[in-house]
A and B are shown apart, each in its own frame.
Chain A
């Protein structure tokens, strides 16, 4: 393993960089999109609720790889030239946004109804109350599940390997075929994933416990 790490250090660090970049970009955009659809789902307007529900159910129930491949194969053919990294990150964003929407919706619904009513009674509009009173409280509650979503993102970003996205998983395959040491190549790449995901998951468990008490 030491040989793989020292010999392929540049590839590994580059792969880690792309994995983190894709995860952070996808987290940012899927939080925005997910929050939007979560708000749709709690609106008084029935049509908006249906739109929110349909979006969430579609992207939750189709495999991430199918979504990512869709963008990798179809978009360059009919719409615009995009590279594998972009296609994979778009797929990752849409897929994750449906899970984040569910998380944010649960957060909003766990905020006491009186908060919204109180804010409205004090003269705020629905949107002011939602953005200034309800959402900040909701986001505080959902920090641990959002952290878990980020861990899932880091793991799921490995689909980039299917679309030539130069991430850690992609590097794992090229290192394995270059070094001919399959086992150690995969073990080293596994370690690189664990360095990010394991501490985060322990920290989230700690936060969950603290919030529960």
Chain B
């Protein structure tokens, strides 16, 4: 018990919160970027533009089927050999965005395919162009249908930011490791508190997605 009280000193908690802030920062930027890029790729894959859609589809499938850690390594250790040296923060955000965009592209595409074909036909019959119909009629319905899947993908993203400890991104898990590295009595208290922190964020999001899903249904 004494260990817990000592481990949770204000200095340590503040240090953990600084880590948590990086986790949140990386997550929010990657979520926004991958939602935009993923939606675009998903639509591109759906609309069947000769060659382009097939190429996009193949690249998306390759990225989706690789471990995220490998992509993080590639952006951080690989890119400098190609003449571009990103910082730790940027390399992480880049890797997360590449990986999550591919995951979202697949979700968005399956969402669009689940929208009734009559929606597109009806919109076209009412004088909308193909792009307008896609953007104003089909796409919003596809997103509505896939909200639970999209949110659980974002929850995965938040959890996956912890993988960036391997390139020493100063996020939550990394800061916890630094604290218990100085005093092994703090190991259990540190694991408990970061597990609670991750849990609160991810669980809150999953509750939010359930509420959203019910409201929109």
Contact = CB atoms under 8 A, between A and B. Distances in A.
Interface of A: 57-58, 60-66, 69-70, 73-74, 77, 151, 155-159, 161-162, 169, 172-173, 176, 182-183, 186, 189-190, 193-194, 197-198, 201-202
A183 B202 contact: no
B69 A62 contact: no
B66 A162 contact: no
Contacts of B162: 63, 65-66
A183 B82 contact: yes
Given A151-B65, A155-B65, A193-B65, A62 B159 contact: yes
Contact of A69 (B78, B173, B184): B173
B203 A57 contact: yes
A57 B207 CA distance: 11
Nearest to A200: B65
A182 B67 contact: no
Interface in B152-183: 155, 159-160, 162-163, 165-166, 173, 180
Contact of A155 (B66, B77, B78, B203): B66
Given A64-B159, A182-B77, A186-B78, A74 B69 contact: no
**Interface majority SS (helix, strand, loop, mixed), chain A:** helix
Interface residues of B, number: 35
Interface stretch (B12-20, B132-140, B191-199): B191-199
18 contacts: A57-B203, A61-B199, A65-B162, A70-B191, A155-B67, A156-B67, A157-B67, A158-B70, A162-B165, A169-B70, A172-B73, A183-B81, A186-B74, A193-B66, A198-B65, A201-B61, A201-B65, A202-B61
Interface of B: 61-62, 64-70, 73-74, 77-78, 81-82, 155, 159-160, 162-163, 165-166, 173, 180, 184, 187-188, 191, 194-195, 198-199, 202-203, 206
Given A63-B173, A74-B187, A186 B198 contact: no
Given A74-B191, A182-B77, A197 B173 contact: no
Contacts, number: 104
Given A66-B198, A158-B70, A201-B64, A182 B173 contact: no
Given A60-B206, A183-B82, A198-B61, 9 more contacts: A61-B203, A62-B195, A63-B173, A66-B194, A155-B68, A158-B67, A158-B70, A186-B73, A186-B77
B19 to A, nearest CB: 13
Nearest to B195: A62
B187 A58 contact: no
B191 A66 contact: yes
B82 to A, nearest CB: 7
Q: Which of B61, B62, B73 has the most CB of A within 10 A?
A: B73
A213 B115 CA distance: 16
B141 to A, nearest CB: 19
A70 B190 CA distance: 10
A154 to B, nearest CB: 8
A182 B67 CA distance: 17
A158 B72 CA distance: 12
A61 B206 contact: yes
B165 A65 contact: yes
Contacts of A63: 159-160, 162-163, 173, 198
A177 to B, nearest CB: 10
Contacts of B81: 182-183
